[in-house]
Amino acid sequence: MVRFSGIYGGSRSAFLDAVLTGQVPVTPPSPWTNRVHEQDAAGILAHLVSRSLRGESLDDLYIGTDCEPVQRHVLARWILDHSECGTQPLPDAQWPARGGSKRLSNARLLATGYDFRHPDYMSGYAAMLRESGHYR
């Protein structure tokens, strides 16, 4: 089984959109968040299925998350700093009520040899900003 962290990329742009429209604060404190780009979510599944089909042993559970947990305010600030069209947070900007504040480890997944296309939020969100034409 694979337990994925927050999947983003492609049409999954809610957090990015919220940051760019000023709905999310960029000041501490903020909870920790763990992300995985949708290309890696699909890649992880393909990688593990391939290993299984080759008869290689698998663990019962893998955490499908990238290699760098990040606090939400750091992620939001990074997005604004690398976007040409972002709006500074509105006075009533708030963190979404969902989620906890954990730092997850993908060590078990990495031990299988999976090679991330987007190993951290910077790579994944930069790709999204480039695709939208807003990367600075």
The torsion angles phi and psi of 75, rounded to 5 degrees, stand at -60, -45
Rounded to 10 deg, the angle between the 72-81 and 121-132 helix axes is 40
Express each pLDDT in 64-123 by its tens digit. 999 999 999 999 999 999 999 888 899 999 887 766 799 999 999 999 999 999 999 999
Give this prediction's pTM: 0.93
Query: What is the CATH architecture of 2-132?
Result: 3-Layer(aba) Sandwich (3.40)
